[in-house]
A and B are shown apart, each in its own frame.
Chain A
């Protein structure tokens, strides 16, 4: 049986300790710069904080995975190399990498440290995954959220590395690592700067009638009615008017979160080695609740008991959840 490792998010040292205490097998985190895909204001770790985090995690038999999962712009690779050097010096257990150049640097410089291929690399075929394994020694691939469980099972049989899948959290299904929608409006890149809808460009406006508009770089993304559940201010989750429709509609995706709690047994059976919880930008409260819930569920399944699955819908975007492509190729 697959171990079903729980890979949990941490945006701050306090969140990391919360995740470890709640039963994380590993915690992923990043530095306070563009080397990771959650380069949000006030979030992430200084080198000193990461040193303390690694010590704490290791003392509780948890691992620390350092996200270096953005793409260096031309001529700026030194920031990513320096981050890898610091992570190696501080004893992280693995690097989560998307860019081949970063992977190549780590593979050559720190051959004893594991490389996990980030979802940002969007490697979804056995051929692509094998390429990363053969050339950079990748030990684990985080699969894009566009594959069904039978497809995952099939891929597992054809690759020489572990599989990690997302099981909870933000559900963004643009070709991961390729989305330039934020770049289009703000000039900042999700993939190179690590910022999807940078907070400095986001504005929420409450109107006198109780409705609320969200805007990115001055462009309206959505307007929520009184009491209507809201979502993140991202272009892909925006609601738009078009000439051929009378009402505003979600052109790309709806505000909804992934929740695969009820599919855990099938994922384990399909050979998924590790389960990832999204949400480094979320609070300790979220980390505590979600990690505890999935720790209990995975432990139940591994012990042959029916999984006790906590209701987490209150923590989901738009207070809606989906099994997405894992359950069916058409999930709208």
Chain B
């Protein structure tokens, strides 16, 4: 029996919230470094964002215990993990499975196709989403690998393992 099974719904919600906040604290240092590195290495992203470089985006990887809040302001870029029960304001929201979002960032998947299949949801300011998509799509190389590289060999190993797991899952889904 799972240890949380004995909790009432209110208690379970409190535990989930605490877990989410802890996860946010753990990943935050990495996220801050990721957004600074991408901004430093790919300044053309900001030009394609236009006025939306001052906007906030809420990115929601549905299976993770937190959402991500991105402010791609070149003067003060911010990328934060935020608990779902207290997300800050954002002009635009992007929602999908974590690896799908990662593949979209890396242009391994097509955003329009993911939208057509309903694997990807967007809401809020559509122009902001379109600008972000086009800005990231013009980046050469893999943003995911750059991010994983910040953690060195362990980061790259984790990314490779995630990709293998996602690929296996996707292939299993297609065969089912």
Q: Which residues of A contact B (CB under 8 A)?
A: 11-15, 17, 40-43, 198-200, 202-206, 212, 224, 227-232, 255, 281-286, 288-289, 314-319
Q: How far is the CB of A229 from chain B (nearest CB, A)?
A: 6
- State the CA gap A45–B77 with chains docked (Å): 25
Residues of B within 8 A of A229 (CB): 116-118
- State the CA gap A230–B120 with chains docked (Å): 11
Binds A, one of B15-23, B32-40, B126-134: B126-134
Contact A319 B117 (CB under 8 A): yes
- Check A283/B123 contact, CB under 8 A, given A14-B140, A42-B134, A230-B116: no
Contact A206 B116 (CB under 8 A): no
Binds A, one of B6-14, B61-69, B102-110, B151-159: B102-110
Contact B116 A41 (CB under 8 A): no
**Among B125, B130, B140, contact of A42 (Cβ-Cβ < 8 Å):** B130
- State the CA gap A198–B125 with chains docked (Å): 12
Residues of A within 8 A of B132 (CB): 42
Interface of A is mostly: mixed
Interface size on B, residues (CB 8 A): 32
Contact A203 B126 (CB under 8 A): yes
Q: Contact mask B38-50 → A, CB, 8 Å, 1/0?
A: 0000000000111
**Among B48, B108, B115, B126, contact of A199 (Cβ-Cβ < 8 Å):** B126
Contact A285 B127 (CB under 8 A): no
Residues of B within 8 A of A227 (CB): 118
Residues of B within 8 A of A255 (CB): 116
**Among B109, B126, B135, contact of A202 (Cβ-Cβ < 8 Å):** B126
Given contacts A15-B137, A200-B126, 6 further A-B pairs with CB under 8 A are: A14-B107, A283-B110, A284-B107, A285-B110, A315-B110, A315-B112
